[in-house]
Structure 1
């Protein structure tokens, strides 16, 4: 093994660490100077707080029935009003935040883990491995997102766990494609060839030399997919295929509110606003991360600075 080859591999490891620190600084700087991103981050932090402590923050039990206050409008006693059974809408909205966060995190985690693995294998080994794996992903990608999720839930049965698995499967092809594209662009770099030439194992090359260099687009895709996963969970719950009553879910609350649009507007407005703000916050943060971490955006920014 030549000293130049070994130093090239070692030098890349040091560069990867510096690049990670530089990327983190760019992200923090961008978030600090981007008002929409700040607003989105604050909303997400609030959502996490509500998801963790929703039961303690709720002013009433989520299934406490009060027949004397059925369909009561918003008031001091019930800030978001009550539903057709007299249950406090604010309490149910707060507790339902945990469901949305749980579904979003677990389903995107499934999609990221499976898609990352398949994308790494397809991009690194190429050939028939790439062909077989990507054709399978193309088949899944050909189906509309909600239709495929509904089909999976219909086979496995409705429920929270099933919804997580269905949404995870639906978004797996996206992560597989993003990962494969990144691997193909990194695989022929000098430091990867150097690692191969000195006999480094494929697993170590993927873990230490390829994965750190494709992390940026995966981070961006994860933040954006979280928004769509929460929206997909709301759609499944609206169709009665997600979390089952009496447990609260924003989508299910919208389904229950459909018959009271004119008589009790608050039943649909507040859970709908929660979905809207959550998805918007994830999109704002995702757009900020994309502007910072996307190499194409960096090239445009550098070109603009050079002309000023």
Structure 2
């Protein structure tokens, strides 16, 4: 019963996104990004590492809409292929953080006591480090590369999901339906899976959408520093690094990958903010009160 009620609330909230123009725009950008990430090899007009020194540093034109870089490679093709890398890093790293953080938060919020204190102190230690500094330290230990970048970003965002889950579990565990399930002897695993987790899904959905934006930014920062995706593979952050020396004579080298990062992060933030508004119980209650005044 509790799970069905939570699912219904989430469905009603998500349907409200259709009436939010910024959220719709953000979802359209994300849909386009997903299409580009999947179909990038077929959409790219040239090979990502096709070197042509006779065409190096050409300005945007019909032949090369985003221009060419210092090696004559087509910038549009590299930007399109880098979208797949950013999506992969965002989804995998946030997936790692979501699974690990939700597990820690459920255990800490449900069992409380010494386990809660131990897990939350570990989370506090991770929170004490700046996100990018901790990610750089992890990559420095494991070695640069796409896989280590995903692990590092996943680790640094795990505490956020752990905190959000724990706070929600502390509120849900006092609800009548949870107490009733405990009273009749329902196993903890079943209670957490069938009753608690569905009722803490709303804030996790919001946090996931926002964390995807920050994960893509973190990956771009790591690639810019040379700790993420390694050349010759394309990555938006690495393309920004390569274009920093050509700002005056070849502005397009940094502009287009920077614009791709900007639009992607903005789209995730727009969708995340809209989800936060429609999934916030206080906002839902206010909306119902306005529709049904006393």
TM-score normalised by structure 1 residue count: 0.93
1:221 equivalenced with 2:221 (yes/no):
no
Cα drift, residue 301 of structure 1: 3.4
What residue is the counterpart of 1:286 in the other structure? 272
Q: Report the Cα distance in structure 1 between the residues aligned to 2:130 and 2:291, rounded to whole angstroms.
A: 41
What residue is the counterpart of 2:13 in the other structure? 26
Report the secondary structure of 1:246's partner residue: coil
Q: Report the Cα distance in structure 2 between the residues aligned to 1:269 and 1:247, rounded to whole angstroms.
A: 19
Q: Report the Cα distance in structure 2 between the residues aligned to 1:211 and 1:19, rounded to whole angstroms.
A: 10
What residue is the counterpart of 1:118 in the other structure? 104
Report the secondary structure of 1:93's partner residue: helix
What residue is the counterpart of 1:202 in the other structure? 188
1:87 equivalenced with 2:56 (yes/no):
no
Q: Report the Cα distance in structure 2 between the residues aligned to 1:90 and 1:77, rounded to whole angstroms.
A: 10
Cα drift, residue 270 of structure 1: 0.2
Q: Report the Cα distance in structure 2 between the residues aligned to 1:93 and 1:136, rounded to whole angstroms.
A: 38
Cα deviation per residue 1:143-183 (whole Å; 9 max; x = unaligned)?
10100000000000000000000000000000000000000
What residue is the counterpart of 2:139 in the other structure? 153
Cα drift, residue 306 of structure 1: 5.8
Q: Report the Cα distance in structure 2 between the residues aligned to 1:229 and 1:115, rounded to whole angstroms.
A: 15
Cα deviation per residue 1:71-91 (whole Å; 9 max; x = unaligned)?
000001100000000000000
Q: Report the Cα distance in structure 1 between the residues aligned to 2:134 and 2:73, rounded to whole angstroms.
A: 34
RMSD: 1.2
Cα drift, residue 303 of structure 1: 4.8
Q: Report the Cα distance in structure 2 between the residues aligned to 1:19 and 1:208, rounded to whole angstroms.
A: 11
What residue is the counterpart of 2:241 in the other structure? 255
1:193 aligned residue (170, 179, 197): 179
Q: Report the Cα distance in structure 1 between the residues aligned to 2:181 and 2:9, rounded to whole angstroms.
A: 24
Cα deviation per residue 1:213-237 (whole Å; 9 max; x = unaligned)?
0000000000000000001000000
What pairs with 1:1-150 in structure 2 (closer than 5 Å)?
13=1, 15-28=2-15, 30-150=16-136
The size of the alignment, in residue pairs, is 294
Q: Report the Cα distance in structure 2 between the residues aligned to 1:25 and 1:149, rounded to whole angstroms.
A: 37
Q: Report the Cα distance in structure 2 between the residues aligned to 1:121 and 1:250, rounded to whole angstroms.
A: 38
Report the secondary structure of 1:263's partner residue: coil
Compared CA separation, residues 122 and 280, structure 1 to 2 (3 A): same
Q: Which 5+ residue runs of structure 2 have no aligned equivalent?
A: none
Q: Which 5+ residue runs of structure 1 have no aligned equivalent?
A: 1-12
Q: Report the Cα distance in structure 2 between the residues aligned to 1:270 and 1:296, rounded to whole angstroms.
A: 40
